[in-house]
Every structure is written in C-alpha cells, then in structure tokens.
Amino acid sequence: MKEKKRLTTEAGAPVNHYQDSQSAGARGPLLLQDYFLHEKLATFNRERIPERIVHAKGSGAYGTFTVTHDITKYTRAKLFSKIGKQTKVFTRFSTVGGEKGSADTERDPRGFAVKFYTEDGNWDLVGNNTPVFFIKDPKKFPDFIHTQKRDPHTNCKSPTMVWDYWSLNPESLHQVLILMSDRGTPNGYRFMNGYGSHTFSMVNDKNERIYVKFHYKTMQGNKTFTDAEATKLKGTDPDYSQRDLVDAIEKGDYPKYALKIQVMTLDEAKNFSWNPFDLTKVWSHKDYPLIDVGEIELNEIPANYFQDVEQAAFAPSNLVDGIGFSPDKMLQGRILAYPDAQRYRIGGNYQALPVNKCPYATNNYHRDGAMRFDGNGENSPNYYPNSFDNNTEDDSYKGVNYELDSNIAGYFDRNEGDDDHFTQPGNLFKIMTPEAKINTINNIVGAMSGISGSKKDEIINLQLCHWFRVDIQLGMGVAKGLGVEIDPKLLR
C-alpha cells in the first residue's frame, strides 16, 4: 500500500478542505480569507506559458548520442573525442505553422532539435526535417510566418496569403517543392530524416577551420503519408506523431538516427557554384559526400510533458568549443531570435530549468530575475573581476580568428548574383519516382485551388511561371490540374 501524503499549499501548510471553498454558511458567499482557493485558481490561470510562435506543438524524448566514427581531424569538440563516447541528449520534434492544438499530420515542415549535454556546455543543433528553408534572410521571417498563420481579418488559414507570398519570393521554390511532395507529410517522427540545415563551421586542435552541414538519417527507414492518409488522420488521430513516439519508446522500440556531416574547405566555399551559406540551397552529396559520425538513440519519454517538452528551450547560439557559426544570414538572425524568444516565453532564467540546464558546472555572474531558484550565486560576488573568488578566463577556449570576406557595411540584395532559384528544385523533381511526381503535382494543385479573391489569377499565373521554370512537366501538370490552358508555343 502506498504511503499516504497530506495535501498542502505551495507554502507547505496542510489543506483539509481541498474541494470545498470557505463560505458564510452552507449557501452563503465565499470568504476572501480562503487563501487556498485563491492560490489554486491563480495557479490554474497561469498554467499556460505563451506558446511558441512557431513549433508550438511538439513531442520530446531523452536519449544518448554515441560516437561511431573518428572526425577529430575536423573538430576538437569533446563530444566527438573518441569512438564509443556517449553523450546524453534531449530531442524535440514539432510541426511548424500550427497552434498547440493542431494536428500532427498537417502538411508542414517538422522541427528536429537536439540538445547535447556535453562537458563543455550544452550544444543545441536546432533544425528541421528538410535541408533547406523558404527564405534566405532573417528580416523576411516575420512576414513569412504571418502568411502561415491566420488571416487577421477572417482568423482562418489563407491559401491566398501563402501562395501570394511564395509567388513573390521564388527563393522559396526548393522548400515549397519538398513540402508539396509526400515528404511534407511524414509518417510520424521516427521515419523522417533531420538536418541542421544551416552551414556551420568546425575547428580542430590545430586551429584549422572548415565548414560543415549536419544530417540525421533515420535508421527506421523513411515513411510518408499520402495527402489523403494525412488528411484522414487529422480527424481520426490528431496526436498521431506524439502517440507513435511514446508507444514505440515505452515498448522498447527505440528510434535511432545516424548523425552524418558534409564538409567543405574555405577555398571550396569561395569557388562553390552557389553561395554555400544560402539556406535555400543544398550541397551535392556527390561532390560533398556524407561522412559517418555517430548514432542518436531515443530511449526515455519525460515523466512530465510540460516540465521537459513544453519548457525545452533550444537556441543555435548554444555552441561548444570546436563548433562555430558561418556567414549564413539566417543562422546569424537565429543567434538573436531564439534566445530572445525563450526569455520572453519562459523567463530570463530559462536555462536553469532541468531540461535546459547544463549538467556540468556553470559559473558566471548572472543574478536575479524571475524564478531564480538555483541559489542565485548565494553570498559570492556578483561582479568580475573581483578580489574574493578565483574565477579566471580559460585561454584554451579562446577560439580562432578569421577574416571576413568584406569590410564594407551595407544592405545587399540577397538575390544579386545568386538568383537561380530553379535548378536545384528542378533537379529534385527529376529524381522523383513517377508516383512521387504525380502526388507532388496533385498536392500542389490541391493547395493552390484554395487561392481566392481579386488577385487569384495574378497569383496563380505568377506561381505557374515559377513551376514551369523548375520543370516543364511539373508546370504542365499543375496548370492542367488548375484548369489553366497553356499555349505550347510559349514553352518553346
């Protein structure tokens, strides 16, 4: 028999009337002095922290990362220091555009974020299930996300907003094509790949620097839903992905992902066909083959979803020695935006929460702020330098100086000299199977059929021009599906 535990207030005082409020007589009004009633209702009112603007609905699990191959010639990061080394991880999967109550099988990119708890601090590899993104400059991000959310007039999702924006930003074509394929509706989180997406850098123990992209390849095999299957599940099991992940781990069928990298030298980056830091482009696997690194195994569902999954906070700014940034403009924008979002959503001390806290010693002079529950530095000095403690800067973590490509500050057109938005999505469409091509065309037609309003024809025609430039077969298929007649002479 379980030991009985008495009910108490948050301050620890015993509560002997948990279900009945204090009143003036059995039928009388309630009394202000029933402080536990106030505590209970006030706490309930604050149960929901602001949901994430994007990636609001997610699933998470703890696990381990194990090094299987030696990459120390590229990086001195300690988590890769030897084969067999294990590092605890927390992974959060998510949809991107929907609210917290949205369906798991929406046609949407999927977030795939991994927090590595290393002895040099936490490393957050915050990515998606696609290697590219819709835009290449962070200043465009709020506008793009507005189109994925609700129309400020109708408060409904608007295909017109979505396609108007995409048609006016052809840099989105590569990601849109992936989204409109069956990869846009993955079968849960266990059967999809993940990508760091951005270009990062690595530094080895000789201070040699290279650029790198991270990939997680599902070891369960890729599985997707057709549009019809995904739509059916939205109504019959909107929490499909969450349920699938929990059920698999609880029965010991642990999801695994192979971590791989692509590397590019600084000289290769200068001579690359496209801007190697452009988030709308990929590096060819033929020219820059995948290199095996290790395996991620997810083997523990958090005991409490809110504590760990909802309060999990990832930021690309969380790097460790041996891994660095690159000139990727979208990455540079996320260095600011992500920690700022977490401080707004959870509070200034969000990294002290168990799921976000580095399990190794941390030492700095940050103090105070809401929800400071970790000792707050106790009676030690809150400034540096000082004459009382013996804290020092560690020169062995000084980092590597590097030259910038330019010393001219200005606003540069993101597409000037880099406006080929069509070759890579065209190459992707060409390697699709005949079935995948048909499904992709049908998905595009279904999505574009929702465009309405006075600008309908203008938006459709502009987007059709983009599809034709990607691939003639793709353009003709979409045009036919939308009932738009195309003069073959115009395609010569």
Q: What percent of the chain has pLDDT over 70?
A: 99
DSSP 432-484: S-HHHHHHHHHHHHHHHTT--STTHHHHHHHHHHHHHHH-HHHHHHHHHHHT-
Q: Determine which one of 17, 45, 128, 427 is catalytic.
A: 128
Kindly report, residue by residue over 306-347, the tens digit of the pLDDT.
999 999 999 999 999 999 999 999 999 999 899 999 999 999
pLDDT at res. 492: 61
Written as one letter, the residue type at 72 is T
Q: Are the C-beta atoms of residues 442 and 227 closer than 8 Å to each other?
A: yes
pLDDT at res. 417: 87
| Coil, helix or strand at residue 139 | helix
CATH code 2.40.180.10 for 58-352: yes
Q: Which residue has the tokens 């395996």?
A: 295
Q: Determine which one of 16, 17, 55, 364 is catalytic.
A: 55
Q: Which of 92-96, 351-355, 412-416 has the lowest mean pLDDT?
A: 412-416
Peptide bond into 142 cis (omega under 30): no
- Tell me whether residue 197 is exposed, middle or buried, using C-beta atoms within 10 angstroms of its C-beta: 0 to 12, 13 to 18, 19 or more: buried
* Mean pLDDT of the 276-281 span: 96
Asked if the domains at 1-47 and 58-352 fall in one CATH topology, the answer is no
Kindly report, residue by residue over 169-217, the tens digit of the pLDDT.
999 999 999 999 999 999 999 999 999 999 999 999 999 999 999 999 9
* pLDDT score of 490 more than 70: no
pLDDT at res. 102: 96
Residue 427 appears among annotated catalytic residues = no
Residue 363 appears among annotated catalytic residues = no
* pLDDT score of 68 more than 90: yes
| Coil, helix or strand at residue 263 | strand
Helix (H) or strand (E) holding 86: strand 86-95
* Mean pLDDT of the 11-15 span: 84
User: From residue 178, how far is each of 79, 223, 241, 273 by CA, in Å?
Assistant: 32, 14, 20, 21
* pLDDT score of 44 more than 90: no
Q: Please tell me the CATH code under which domain 1-47 is placed.
A: 4.10.91.20
- Phi and psi torsions of 304, nearest 5°: -135, 115
User: Is the full-model pTM beyond 0.85?
Assistant: yes
Kindly report, residue by residue over 107-118, the tens digit of the pLDDT.
999 999 999 999
* pLDDT score of 488 more than 80: no
The residue extents of the domains of the chain are: 1-47, 58-352, 423-491
